[in-house]
Amino acid sequence: MRKWEENVKKVVPYTPGEQPQKKGIIKLNTNECPYPPSPLVEKKIKEMAYEDLRLYPEFPEKTQLAAELAAYHQVSEEEIFIGVGSDDVLSMAFLTFFQAGKPILFPDITYSFYDVWADVYGIPFQTKALAEDLTINPEDYLADNGGVIFPNPNAPTGTLLCLEDVEKIVAANQDVVVIVDEAYIDFGGISALPLLKKYENLLVVRTFSKSRAMAGARIGYAVGSAKLISYLNNVKYSVNSYTMNRPSLELGVEAVKDDAYFKEICGRIIATRTRTEERLKSLGFTFPKSYGNFIFAAHHEVKAGYIFEKLKEYDIYVRHWEKERISNYLRITIGTDEEMDALFRALREIIKQI
C-alpha cells in the first residue's frame, strides 16, 4: 500500500440493484413503480421554463413542495425536511442523530444501506435477528442504545409492524432518535405519522420513488418535530446547500396534488400483488405476507440463485442476495399484470425443467 493510501477512508459501498440498459426487459429488481408519474407531472415537465436552470434552486424547506407536503400531512413546514431521495434524507439523519457513541439498533435482515451509512460515519451498530417468520420483534429494541432505525414495512421481507409495536419502540427510546423508514408504507401499511404528536424523538422518512412513481426525480422527505428538523437542516447545510434540483422540486408538487392518481396506482399494485401471491403459491413458493410493492419468496425445491440466473435468460430481472438466512429468497417487485404474467410463465418453465 502506498503511503497516501494509509490515510484514505475505506468503505465497502452499498450495492444497488442492476440497471440493465437493454430494451424490452422486465425489471422487477429495484421496487420501482411500473406506472408513469401522474399526468400533472407530465404536463408540468412540458411547461417548465428551462431558463430558470441558470439559477440555483430555492432551499427545499422554503419551497412550494414543503408547503404541499406539510398540508398533505397536516403538519407545519418546519416539520418537513426534503432531500435527494430518501437515501439522502436517511444519510443526513444518520449523521445528525446517531452520535451517542453507543450502538444503534436495526434488524439483521433489512435495507442494506443502514450498515453502510453506519460504517462511513463511524457509528457503532448492533443488528437484531428477525424472528423465524421474518418479522421484527419489538422487544429487541427496548434496551439501552444509541438510536433505532427500521423500515416499516421492512425491506426486503415486506413484513409490517403494527402501530402499537412501533409506538412501543418509540416510547421506550425517548432518550434517542427513532427513525421509521416508510419507503413502502403506501402499499397497505399503517403509518407512524400520528405518533409525531406525542413523540418529539420520532422521525418518519418517506420517498417519491415507489408509490409516486418518481425514482428518477430523487425526492425523499422526513416528517418530525420542528426541533429534529432544524438539527437535520443544520447538518445538511453544512454539507451541501443546494442538493435538490429545481425541476424535481417543481415536479414533486404536481405529484402531491394528484392524490386520486396516487391512490389509483397504489390500489392497482396491491391488486396485482394479491394475484401474484396466489400464483407464486400455486408454483410452490412461500413468503411472508407482504405490505410492500414486492414479494420476498423462496421455493421449496428450486434454489433462488438458480431461478435468479435463469430468469435473466427470459430478460426478467429480480433481486437476490447471497447472504446468510436469505440466500434462498428472491425479492420480486410487483410490476404490471402483463409483466407478472410473463414472470409466471417463465417461473413455470424454469421449475418444470428441474
Any contact of residue 32 with ligand PMP (CB under 6 A)? no
Any contact of residue 214 with ligand PMP (CB under 6 A)? no
CB neighbours of 296 closer than 8 A, spacing ≥ 6? 134, 156, 157, 158, 287, 288, 290, 326, 329, 330, 331, 332
Q: Which is nearer to ligand PMP, 40 or 215 (CB)?
A: 215
Q: Which is nearer to ligand PMP, 207 or 243 (CB)?
A: 207
Among the residue ranges 81-89, 93-101, 254-262, 274-282, the one whose residues contact ligand PMP (CB under 6 A): 81-89
Q: Which is nearer to ligand PMP, 334 or 347 (CB)?
A: 334
Alpha-carbon separation of residue 189 from 139, 280, 337, 354 (angstroms): 20, 22, 22, 37
Cβ 332 vs Cβ 42: under 8 Å:
no
Cβ 127 vs Cβ 107: under 8 Å:
yes
Among the residue ranges 84-92, 249-257, 276-284, 334-342, the one whose residues contact ligand PMP (CB under 6 A): 84-92
Any contact of residue 293 with ligand PMP (CB under 6 A)? no
Closest CB 220 distance from ligand PMP, rounded Å: 4
- What is the rounded distance in angstroms from the CA atom of residue 133 to the CA atom of residue 195? 27
Closest CB 110 distance from ligand PMP, rounded Å: 7
User: Nine-digit cell at 274?
Assistant: 394479491
Closest CB 3 distance from ligand PMP, rounded Å: 37
User: Nine-digit cell at 352?
Assistant: 418444470
Any contact of residue 100 with ligand PMP (CB under 6 A)? no
Closest CB 47 distance from ligand PMP, rounded Å: 25
- Based on the number of CB atoms within 10 Å of its own CB, is 99 exposed (0-12), middle (13-18) or buried (19 or more)? middle
- The residue type of 198 is K
Question: b/e per residue, 69-84, with b = 16+ CB within 10 A?
Answer: bbeebebebbbbbbbb
- Within 136-175, the residues that bind ligand PMP by CB under 6 A are 151, 155
User: Nine-digit cell at 177?
Assistant: 432518535
Judged by CB under 6 A, the residue of 220, 224, 252, 335 near ligand PMP is 220
Closest CB 295 distance from ligand PMP, rounded Å: 14
Any contact of residue 117 with ligand PMP (CB under 6 A)? no
Q: Which is nearer to ligand PMP, 163 or 215 (CB)?
A: 215
Any contact of residue 215 with ligand PMP (CB under 6 A)? yes
Closest CB 229 distance from ligand PMP, rounded Å: 18
Q: Where do contacts with ligand PMP occur on this chain (CB under 6 A)?
A: 85-87, 111, 151, 155, 181, 183, 207, 209, 215, 220
